[in-house]
Copies of this chain bind each other. A is one copy, B any other.
Amino acid sequence: MNNVNDKVEGASRFWDKDYVLGIDIGGTNTEFAVVNRRGDIVKCGSIPTCGHKDFHDYASKLKTAVDDCVAKAGVAGHVRGIGVGAPCANQYSGCIEAATDLPWPSPIPLAAVFEQMFSLPVAITNDANAAAAGEMRYGQARELKNFIMVTLGTGVGGGIVCDGHLLSGSQGFAGEIGHVVVKEDSDRLCGCGRYGCLETYCSAKGVMRTARKMLAESDEPSALRDVAPDELTPKVICECANKGDALAKRVFDFTGRVLGEACANFAAITDPDAFMLFGGVSKAGDLIALPMREALEANALHLYRNRIEILFSSLNDAEAALLGASAMAWDIE
């Protein structure tokens, strides 16, 4: 009889707590939200990440703000857990490790501090894995058991879902596709200290590098020549390309081709059904996806040809990081 009671209690506990908290820690701001099962943000808020005395001061201010948010959402006592997305977050140790963007000394024992403070289970992960988790739970990847999330932003990140499972690896560092070396003897130095990483070609900075190089290597007229070198962002290049600027178009041709060649190799490793593009550079849309598809098909082993989709993340940009972080919280055991 005890068993039966336990089960009923367990079930009711489960149904009562149909909300999670997502927290996205960025270099500038920390955003948080109460999220329901469908992935709707019920209530959200933010505090600055910087300007606190130390990490514990930051954490306690965050606690006050989050509690207020939960109360205003009217779901106090109905929150199952907290998912946190942060740069260099290690899901196993629960720590933020060596994050150069954050104002506190590493490692930061984030999960332990938050668990104690909120009396709730906490899952932490890095940004790209959070994006993949968000896509799997709330986005168009709900039906996909095998896909690779490719985040093309300040850096290039990856979240690899294989056989329905988001890969973690030994230390939680699976999916670092931005640091796969894609060009031998490349002159592109990466932030990681090596040369020729995918990130040096397909991140926002990578695209800017390509543009500057193409401008320097020819006298071809281009609207990009009127733009200051450090304002030559993917957005600006994209606008020029969409107005018909041939050189600007070739910047994305090259970027997409490098990405497609790399993805042809990734396909041989986890046999995905789709690559899902996310982040600022992916806003170039077909400018990057078409050459990427061409290079993917031209370079993939026959087993993978003509069956891998290239998709764009369906999650709202502004909400994706928060939703992704929150998605982790549903699976805490």
Q: Which residues of A contact B (CB under 8 A)?
A: 145-146, 158, 160, 162-163, 165, 167-177, 179-181, 183-184, 192-194, 261, 264-266, 268-273, 299, 301-304, 307
Contacts and interface: CB of A to CB of B under 8 A. Distances in A.
Given A146-B169, A167-B162, A169-B146, A269 B174 contact: yes
Given A162-B169, A174-B162, A273-B170, A194 B268 contact: no
Contacts of A181: 261, 264-265, 299
B272 A176 contact: no
A268 B162 contact: no
7 contacts: A167-B271, A168-B271, A170-B273, A173-B304, A176-B269, A177-B268, A194-B301
Given A183-B184, A184-B183, A271 B169 contact: yes
B270 A174 contact: yes
A174 B265 CA distance: 11
> Which of A163, A261, A272 gathers most chain B CB within 10 Å?
A163
Nearest to A146: B170
A302 B176 CA distance: 12
A151 to B, nearest CB: 14
A175 B270 CA distance: 6
Nearest to A162: B167
A57 to B, nearest CB: 30
Given A177-B269, A180-B269, A181-B265, 13 more contacts: A146-B169, A160-B270, A165-B165, A169-B272, A170-B271, A173-B268, A174-B270, A175-B271, A176-B269, A177-B268, A181-B299, A192-B302, A265-B265
A170 B272 contact: yes
A208 to B, nearest CB: 22
A175 B265 contact: no
A189 B176 CA distance: 29
Q: Which 10 A-B residue pairs are closest in the complex by CB-CB distance? A: A169-B271, A146-B170, A174-B271, A176-B268, A173-B271, A179-B301, A180-B265, A170-B273, A173-B303, A170-B271
Nearest to A272: B170
A192 B301 contact: yes
A273 B158 CA distance: 19
Given A181-B264, A184-B183, A264-B181, A160 B269 contact: yes
B163 A271 contact: no
A180 to B, nearest CB: 5
